Amino acid sequence: MQQVELLEQETFCWPAPQSREVALFTDLTLLSETLELAAVRGSVNLVYLQQALRQRLQRMRQVKTQQPRTIERILRELKLFGWIEPLSSGNGAGPSYRLTSAGVDALRLAQHTPRQFRRLLAEKMQEIYVIPGWFIARLWHINPQGQGEVILPLPPSDWQTRSRGWDDHGWDDEMRQQTVTAAQLARKVSASAFPIDDDDWLRAVEAAWRQLGVQRPRGAHHTATAVFSPRTRLTSAFRSAWLNLLFNRAPYKEDMIDFPGGRPPLYPRTFAGWCPRLESLELIFYTDAHPKINGRLLFPVSVFRKTAPASNFEPIMNVLDPEGDILWLHQPTWDGIRERFVQTLIAVHQQLTARRGTLYVSLLAVRDEVCRQLRISSVAFDEFLGHTLDFLPATGFPWSIAVETDVREDQASAPAQYRRPVYVNGVPHFLLGLAHLRT
Amino acid sequence: MTDNPFLRRGGDIASTPNRYERFALRDNPFPKSPTVNPLSSDPRENGEIYCESLRAYEQKQFERLLVPSPGRADAHLMAFLMDYATRRGRGIGKTAFLTHQRRRIMDDLGNELTGGNYVIMAAHLVPEGGGRTRKFWQFVRLIAKSFNDDNCISTALWRLRAFSGVIPQDVLARIDQNNLAETLGNDRWLDSHNVSPIFVLNPAVEQMLVKAGVSVELAKTLSRDGHNPSEFEQRFLREQSDPWWRQEGYNFVFNVLPQLFQAAGISRVLLLVDEVEKMVTPQNRYERTAFVDDVRRYFVDGAYLGVHNRTYGILWTIHPYVQELWQPYWYSAGLDRVCPIGGGTSQEFTVYFKPMKPDEAAIPLVREYMNHYRFDQSSRDSLTPFTNRAVIVALEKSGGLPGPMLTLLRIALERAVEYRWAQIDEAQIESIFSSMPPSEPDELDDTPETLSPPLTDLQGEG
């Protein structure tokens, strides 16, 4: 791959992060729950938290207990935010922590105004890691005319392949063809959402593929007996390639870096952690299950602007880009978006109904497309859907609506368990039916 | 005669004036029903009107894979017919293709196809929907039923009758080879030619079957009723309970019938399995595993005569979704070594069925249908009242699928009669097409695969 001289430009560069080691847990309620336990008990430590943190539904998977490593990371992050401080240790159970006064304030927000707590978390994460603001700005930079919409392709779903011997890792025509096809499919869906040239893409994927090929197999396997799945390896190579090309220190095809330091801002593991975090903070939306896309569809639901109307946007005053613009979250009021939301919900439901031939369709699929069209977060969607359930049927909208908690067979598969459910009154729902009432 | 409307007889439809006379047609040549029904007497719907040249390549592939020939005695055990029109699959012509292959094989028992070297038969299997063919024993019952419906069992018995030595040569010489059912299969006809089916012929056939290994009881049943499909259906197949099919069905289909076919000198019987999705989609994980394991056992390596003689060859008609559902189970059962369902080598075992190219296929196909209904031979090979462009556009609009195109042309011809159009051209086809509701749910979403622009502009709002 052609090496370009990267130039660090002071003016448009984001500040250096205080920490580059982001905690990879994605369920941010763990933070507020730990604060709560610390407030009730006076102090918390690893052993206590492992017993006390409740079992939870993470996406669609039940997580009964947290791993010690996760709890260490929670404590580390809360410490970085200045919300807890260590107590002098003495009982052999590892260090204990108590709330700071900032931690008490944060807990109060979490308990009474979860939305404000999310905003505070966004500010804190920006302050410590810089990634949230930089990531949104980068999405807008990649595809300005598509409002930051980016497609990160995966190998074509109809590619049938069989496992290979560990040493059989040559970059052949089959891999080349799948790589180009994946890029072409992504561009067919939205030309500007995958702006990488075929040559650059092929080179980057090939380089990543070769790098993965020289690694040793996990476990006790000898390379002569170990096998690998070409699909899994090509998927990893794709991830590495689009991260390297689109989310590196300098934007694609540019030589002015905007993220300080000598290391890339994101690695595949941290990217996998940041996407759900930013989604929970209502800064972006992403889905890996859009019916027209083989890969991840990602777009911001926030924008850096000087000003924005308060009826539709909410500022996070402490998240500024290098030019001093404020991060505005698209947070329309129910009154302001009601008609557009209901109309879009009905239109998307009708499209999916026509495709599947059933009245009840996946609520998650409807959510993904409605959020994409209206550029709203999944949290906002849940809220607006709740309003819609109260609103319909209405004058001018003679539609009846029903949501169900049943999980259809195709929604119970392993990949589907990583999708965020739609919450109505705190209960996950999975199916949506809408019917026109004939008068 | 009575005036009571409940006792009246229907009018004489034959005397109704021909609405299509103006176009030199006996009737509307295009099918009313969107599906092929092999049992229908209407040539538009039973697959009789068929343009072989349009699927010549696929037909060659089919022959290469499953039909034994002198240079290829060891034809594959299994192959796939892959519908590559994915969601637009309905009306691509798979059933017409399978029906045609069955007919051409059964017409001369593969004489022409195999250069006279092998005697082969074929049955067209259409699984029941709603999960009624999701278990292997249900599939076994379907095989037996289809063998009977498609005359495989009766043909074998007709051959046994002919080979029994009981029918004199002069009577055999009088057999109508185009109508075996009414001669060799007809007890009255044989009786009228001094061959007693009950006392002489059937016992002789029974002995042949017993000698081939069939149990006395089943040999009696087969020799008594097997030559007549409706009798065999009524007196044997329908009489068997579900538990019988679960316990004995396997033996009947994979031992007894191969014994019958072997005795009748039949080298191979092809199972053309249509709509495999009706079996696979309703199956749960365990049923899929069990089904695929049984496919291996009863067709590939079980201790059955059918396996030993390689009596059966199967063509599974699938589409990519079925491939996806079946693939892991297929691999687990080791069937990928017999007939890979995916991956590079699967191409060697698959007949790919793709949409037709409008500029190549539309005119010959429409001509085939119209020729069948021309009463005036001078109009033969003419497309009147359609223009060439009209039929090409019709196939284009139908996504290269013949089924929807024929429906579109049927409607167009009805409109031409009703509104007294002199000609049907491209504009009229387009106008009719745009006024038609989508015939299947998937069509709406098929063409534009691009994402629609968002309805909100985050930079512009405010």
B281 touches chain A (CB under 8 A): no
Q: What is the pLDDT of residue B13?
A: 64
Judge whether residue A438 has pLDDT over 70: no
Please state, in angstroms and as integers, the Cα–Cα distance from residue A163 to each residue in A167, A224, A284, B335, following that order.
12, 14, 36, 16
Judge whether residue B320 has pLDDT over 60: yes
**Helix orientation angle between B388-397 and B402-418, rounded to the nearest 10 degrees:** 130
Cα–Cα dist A363/A381, whole Å: 11
Q: What are phi and psi of B261, to 5 degrees?
A: -65, -40
- Sheet of A295-300, strand order: A150-153, A295-300, A284-287
Q: What are phi and psi of A405, to 5 degrees?
A: -90, -5
Q: What is the pLDDT of residue A3?
A: 43
Judge whether residue B310 has pLDDT over 90: yes
Provide mean pLDDT across the span A193-222.
88
Say if CB B254 and CB B307 are below 8 A apart: yes
Question: Which value, to the nearest 10 degrees, does the dihedral of the CA atoms of residues A393, A394, A399, A404 take?
Answer: -40
Judge whether residue B33 has pLDDT over 80: no
Cα–Cα dist B103/B100, whole Å: 5
Look at residues B38, B59, B58, B60 and name the one whose alpha carbon lies nearest to residue B49: B38
Write out the two tokens for B78. 């299994």
Write out the two tokens for A220. 């006790």
Please state, in angstroms and as integers, the Cα–Cα distance from residue B158 to each residue in A242, A345, B212, B263, following that order.
68, 64, 16, 12
How far apart are the CA of A303 and the nearest CA of chain B, in angstroms?
7
Provide mean pLDDT across the span A103-132.
94
Which DSSP state fits B317?
E
Lowest mean pLDDT among A223-227, B26-30, B75-79, B189-193: A223-227
Q: Give residue A5's pLDDT band: very low, low, confident or very high (50, 70, 90).
A: low
Judge whether residue A393 has pLDDT over 90: no
Q: Give residue B326's pLDDT band: very low, low, confident or very high (50, 70, 90).
A: confident
Q: Is B12 exposed, middle or buried (0-12, 13-18, 19+ CB in 10 A)?
A: exposed
Please state, in angstroms and as integers, the Cα–Cα distance from residue B339 to each residue in A162, B79, B84, B342, following that order.
14, 6, 18, 9
**Contact state of B449 with A357 under an 8 Å Cβ cutoff:** no
Which DSSP state fits A164?
E
Q: What is the pLDDT of residue A334?
A: 93
Write out the two tokens for A1. 């791959």
Please state, in angstroms and as integers, the Cα–Cα distance from residue A389 to each residue in A337, A353, A427, following that order.
15, 19, 14
Cα–Cα dist B414/B421, whole Å: 10
Which residues of B fall within a CB distance of 8 Å from A194?
none
Q: What is the pLDDT of residue B151?
A: 95
3 state SS of A283:
coil
**Contact state of A374 with B441 under an 8 Å Cβ cutoff:** no
Q: What is the pLDDT of residue A139?
A: 96
- pLDDT over 70 percentage in chain B: 93
Say if CB B3 and CB B11 are below 8 A apart: no
Say if CB A389 and CB A403 are below 8 A apart: yes
Q: Give residue B448's pLDDT band: very low, low, confident or very high (50, 70, 90).
A: very low
Q: What is the pLDDT of residue B354?
A: 82
Highest averaged pLDDT of the listed ranges A201-205, A229-233, A398-402 = A201-205
User: A-side interface with B, Cβ within 8 Å?
Assistant: 147, 149, 158, 160-162, 174, 188-190, 193, 292-293, 300-303, 305, 307-309, 312-313, 328, 330, 340, 344, 351, 353-357, 372-376
Average pLDDT of every residue of chain A = 88
Say if CB A151 and CB A300 are below 8 A apart: no
Judge whether residue A244 has pLDDT over 70: yes
Judge whether residue B80 has pLDDT over 80: yes
The pTM is what? 0.57
Q: Give residue A354's pLDDT band: very low, low, confident or very high (50, 70, 90).
A: confident
Which residues of B fall within a CB distance of 8 Å from A153?
none
Q: What is the pLDDT of residue A54?
A: 81
Average pLDDT of every residue of chain B = 88
Collect all residues with Cβ–Cβ distance below 8 Å to A289 and sequence separation of at least 6: A364, A365, A368, A415, A416, A419
3 state SS of A41:
helix
pLDDT digits (tens, 9 = 90+) for A250-277: 999 998 888 888 889 999 889 999 999 9
Cα–Cα dist A197/A202, whole Å: 9
Provide mean pLDDT across the span B377-385.
87
3 state SS of B86:
helix
Say if CB B431 and CB B49 are below 8 A apart: no
Instruction: Give me the residue from B342, B344, B441 closest to A355, CB to CB.
Output: B441
Judge whether residue A356 has pLDDT over 80: no
Q: What are phi and psi of A32, to 5 degrees?
A: -70, -35
Q: What are phi and psi of B124, to 5 degrees?
A: -100, 115
3 state SS of B69:
strand
Q: What is the pLDDT of residue A140?
A: 96
B1 touches chain A (CB under 8 A): no
Instruction: Give me the residue from B320, B344, B456 closest to A375, CB to CB.
Output: B456
Q: What are phi and psi of B93, to 5 degrees?
A: 105, 20
Other beta carbons within 10 Å of A408: 14
How far apart are the CA of B89 and the nearest CA of chain A, in angstroms?
14
Q: Give residue B445's pLDDT band: very low, low, confident or very high (50, 70, 90).
A: very low
Q: What is the pLDDT of residue A90?
A: 55
**Contact state of A375 with B320 under an 8 Å Cβ cutoff:** no
Q: What are phi and psi of B267, to 5 degrees?
A: -80, -35
Provide mean pLDDT across the span B302-319.
93
Q: What is the pLDDT of residue B12?
A: 67
Say if CB A284 and CB A275 are below 8 A apart: yes
Type of residue found at A108: R
Which residue(s) pair with A315 in the sheet? A328
Q: Give residue B379's pLDDT band: very low, low, confident or very high (50, 70, 90).
A: confident
- pLDDT over 90 percentage in chain B: 60
Please state, in angstroms and as integers, the Cα–Cα distance from residue B14 to each residue in B41, B365, B376, following that order.
16, 28, 19
Provide mean pLDDT across the span A365-390.
94
pLDDT digits (tens, 9 = 90+) for B106-128: 999 999 999 899 999 999 999 98
Cα–Cα dist A282/A438, whole Å: 38
Write out the two tokens for A106. 């944060």
Predicted complex ipTM = 0.81
Beta strand B78-83 with B350-353 is: parallel
Q: What is the pLDDT of residue A10?
A: 52
**Contact state of A149 with B451 under an 8 Å Cβ cutoff:** yes
More confident residue, A196 or A419: A196
Q: What is the pLDDT of residue B447?
A: 40
Which residue(s) pair with A61 in the sheet? A58
Interface test with A, best of B447, B456, B457 (most A CBs within 10 A): B456
Cα–Cα dist A343/A436, whole Å: 12
Which residues of A fall within a CB distance of 8 Å from B444?
351, 354-355
- pLDDT over 70 percentage in chain A: 94
Q: What is the pLDDT of residue A61?
A: 76
Write out the two tokens for A417. 């368990």
pLDDT digits (tens, 9 = 90+) for B218-272: 999 999 999 999 999 999 999 999 999 999 999 999 999 999 999 999 999 999 9
Cα–Cα dist B398/B406, whole Å: 9
Instruction: Provide the CA A37 distance to its chain's centre, in angstroms.
Output: 27
H helix intervals, A42-113 = 46-52, 68-80, 101-112
**Contact state of A375 with B454 under an 8 Å Cβ cutoff:** yes
More confident residue, B321 or A115: A115
**Contact state of A355 with B442 under an 8 Å Cβ cutoff:** yes
Type of residue found at B49: I
Interface test with A, best of B86, B318, B461 (most A CBs within 10 A): B461
Say if CB B132 and CB B245 are below 8 A apart: no
DSSP string for B411-450: HHHHHHHHTT-S-B-HHHHHHHHHHSPPSSTTHHHHS--S
In B10-85, which ranges are E strands? 78-83
DSSP string for A297-365: EEEESEEEES---TTTEEEEEEEE-TT-PEEEEE---HHHHHHHHHHHHHHHHHHHHHHH--SEEEHHH
Provide mean pLDDT across the span A172-182.
92
**Contact state of B462 with A309 under an 8 Å Cβ cutoff:** yes
Look at residues A409, A399, A403 and name the one whose alpha carbon lies nearest to residue A432: A403
**Contact state of B454 with A302 under an 8 Å Cβ cutoff:** no
